[in-house]
Amino acid sequence: MDRPGSARRRWGRSGAEGELRIVYQDAALIVVNKPAGVLSVPLPDGDHGPSVEEQLAVHLRTRGKRRPLVVHRIDRDTSGLVVFATRADAQRRLRDQFKRHEPERVYLAVVYGHPSPASGTWRDRMLWDKADLIQKETHPRDPRGKDAVSDYRIVERFAAASLIEVRLQTGKRNQIRLQARLRGHTLVGEQRYVYGPANLRPIDFPRQALHAHRLAFRHPVTDDLLSFEAALPSDMTDLVARLRIQTGGSGV
């Protein structure tokens, strides 16, 4: 009989573009490097493209395993690391960690302009608009709102943009996208959290330039610390290379 956490662990199965990219798997959980353009979970109305949850369900079913259980999500057009559980008790314990903001969640983003100072903390009060399905800034004492806190630092400067690292202290829906926009540093490729005419955002990129780069949490069964990193996907590395050329070499 298989004991919790005792299954053989598999690391780093990469795939072609669009395939399921499993970074880590054991008897209790699966970590996936999600490509941009793929949902984490299906939409409620059923009108959607492929999702990681559905792909994992097929992957597990072919091995006689149970369905994947959602722990957290990242946006369809955000790439990077996301974790699913394969047991109800593991899902519950992982979700409790995320509710307590214990996991390390680090993103890489390309934004317009140069945040000042070069590192710091963004603090906002946010309210999810259920009608418009969008995150909005609200008054600091609005009882309906929730605090959103992120630590950021510039990794590389370009002529009109920056590659930044953002470490979440909280994990609100669309948090980084809105917090960057509120400070005049809209994500390159962003379509929803923008302001002003499109000519203010001249860099061509087909999605928001946001990648879930690092994820660390406690194993829900063994309590061991698990830590994972996913390198920038090819579209974002190409974007960074293009911005370096426009800057006149390497970024500053």
Catalytic residues: 75
CB 39 within 8 A of CB 49: yes
- For the chain, list the strands marked E by DSSP: 10-13, 22-25, 29-34, 69-70, 79-85, 104-112, 119-129, 134-137, 146-157, 161-168, 210-218, 225-229
- Residue 33 is given by DSSP the state E
Report the Cα 219 to chain-centroid distance in Å. Answer: 20
8: Cβ–Cβ under 8 A, 6 or more apart, which residues? 26
Please report, for residues 59, 165, 221, the alpha-carbon distance to residue 44 in angstroms, rounded to integers and kept in the order given. Answer: 22, 32, 31
CB 243 within 8 A of CB 209: no
Q: Which amino acid is at 241?
A: A
Place of tokens 């608009």: 129
Q: Determine the length of the chain.
A: 252
How far apart CA 172 and CA 117 sit, in angstroms, is 23
Q: Tokens for 203, please give them.
A: 């860099």
